Amino acid sequence: MAYNLRNRNFLKLLDLTPKEVKFLLDLSADLKKAKYAGTEQQKLK
């Protein structure tokens, strides 16, 4: 499930729910794998 995190302030970890934190960690792992595999797509633009 994707979360809409646009226009959200992230000042401390408590600003996000546990599910949102897990989503961000999973997304970062996926982006890192794609970068090293050479299949990176610009998802964050």
Say what the pLDDT of residue 19 is.
Answer: 92
Amino acid residing at 39? T
Taking Cα atoms as reference points, which of 16, 12, 11, 14 lies closest to residue 3? Answer: 16
Say what the pLDDT of residue 43 is.
Answer: 62
Tens-digit pLDDT profile for residues 1-45:
677 878 878 788 888 899 999 998 998 899 899 989 988 887 666
Say what the pLDDT of residue 45 is.
Answer: 66
What is the distance, to the nearest Å, from the Cα of residue 15 to the centroid of all Cα atoms in its chain? 15
The whole-angstrom separation of Cα 21 and Cα 27 is 10
Say what the pLDDT of residue 38 is.
Answer: 84
The whole-angstrom separation of Cα 35 and Cα 25 is 15
